[in-house]
């Protein structure tokens, strides 16, 4: 009877240890491969451009719907990926 209890206890202990080491391994791998993603603050951002035409006039353009994202897994941004998108249907222009 005592041997069965000890065997049962060891089985449960091994099961818990396996789960703990599996979770620890997953957590370490997630930490090593974690990527940081930065997105823009739409309330405080704008996407504009200016084109000079024949060195006489300037045309300003503004995109109303756009998005910007930076993804990097290194602290020094040496592997950073920059993504910018703009909906051409929301482009407005003015002549200065």
Residues 27 and 61 in one domain: no
Q: Are residues 26 and 48 in the same domain?
A: no
Same domain membership, residue 52 and residue 29 = no
Q: Which residue has the tokens 């391994």?
A: 25
**Closest alpha carbon to 61 in 92, 84, 90:** 92
Whether 41 and 29 map to the same domain: the answer is no
Per the CB < 8 A criterion, the answer to whether 60 and 29 are in contact is no
Mean pLDDT (the chain, rounded)? 77
Domain region containing 19? 1-34
Same domain, 44 and 87: yes
Question: Is 61 in the same domain as 74?
Answer: yes
Is residue 65 located within the same domain as residue 23?
A: no
pLDDT in tens, 33-74: 567 888 888 888 888 888 887 888 888 888 899 999 999 888
**Does residue 78 surpass a pLDDT of 90?**
no
Report which secondary-structure segment, H or E, holds 37.
strand 36-39
Is 60 exceeded by the pLDDT of residue 25? no
Domain count across the chain: 2
Q: Tell me which H or E stretch contains 31.
A: helix 2-33
């Amino acid at each position: 009877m005592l041997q069965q209890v000890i065997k049962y206890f060891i089985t449960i202990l091994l099961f818990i240890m396996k789960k703990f080491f599996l979770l620890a391994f997953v957590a370490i791998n997630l930490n090593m491969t974690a990527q940081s993603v930065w997105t823009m603050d739409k309330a405080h951002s704008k996407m504009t451009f200016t084109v000079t035409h024949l060195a006489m006039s300037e045309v300003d353009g503004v995109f109303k719907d756009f998005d910007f994202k930076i993804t990097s897994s290194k602290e020094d941004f040496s592997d950073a990926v920059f993504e910018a998108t703009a909906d051409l249907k929301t482009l407005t222009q003015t002549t200065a």
